[in-house]
Amino acid sequence: MKLKKDKIRDLVYQEIKKMLLNQDLLPGQKVNKKELAEILHVSQTPVQESIIALIKEGLFENRPREGLFVKEFTNQDMRDFFAVRAGIEGIALRLCIEQYGVESLEDIIKLFDQFSPPVESEESKQLYQQVDRKFHEQIMLRSGNNMIREFVHEFNFILRCYQKGLLREPSETLPEHLAIIKAIRAGNAELAQSLIMEHHMKSYAKLPV
């Protein structure tokens, strides 16, 4: 069955975002739309339409006389993201626990069970980053707060925050995640909120001014 044009465009849009998230398209990289269409096995039209949308969302930029590039966020941009993230994710986690209970997070708090220090191999670090991303994204999406969910989707918040990959080593962040999970399991919403905010502010502080 032949897909409708808008369906193809939506799929291409999601695939390009996935390429950004997986760093198949790197920050500051020049992008050839024809080559991108060939990689995705589509015509240039849905690629062009998707790129226009992603430029509006601040993920790509057209540079005069240079071409199309993946937007590269500055350290100050990243500091801003993490400061906002600390507040939003803190309240999202508190809402999850207070309104829906620990059981609403049961599947994601088990995600880190597969890790024990040291997490050193490149393969383990890549898996850790995927788990880290899912853990934090799901906390915001499960908060029951439509404004938080809209912010995550419309602002491409996860894409922006993970553009530079993991800012700190798993050896540093794994104990922090486990402390957050311990507070969640205890149903201590206030402590969990405080710990996850502190977790993000440590990443904030890691970024040079």
Query: What tokens appear for 76 in the block?
Result: 């100050």
| Dist. CA 122–CA 187, nearest whole Å | 34
| pLDDT interval class at 1 (50, 70, 90) | very low
Query: What tokens appear for 62 in the block?
Result: 């057209």
Q: pTM for the complete prediction? A: 0.86
In the prediction, which pLDDT does 6 show? Answer: 74
| Average pLDDT of span 120-132 | 90
**What string of DSSP letters covers 33-93?**
HHHHHHHHTS-HHHHHHHHHHHHHTTSEEEETTTEEEE----HHHHHHHHHHHHHHHHHHH
| Average pLDDT of span 39-55 | 94
Q: Can you list the domains of the chain with their CATH numbers? A: 5-70 (1.10.10.10), 75-206 (1.20.120.530)
Residues 197, 203, 208, CA angle at the centre, nearest 5°? 135
**Average per-residue pLDDT in the chain?**
93
Residue-wise pLDDT for 143-185, tens only, equals 999 999 998 888 888 889 899 888 999 999 999 999 999 999 9
| Dist. CA 83–CA 87, nearest whole Å | 7
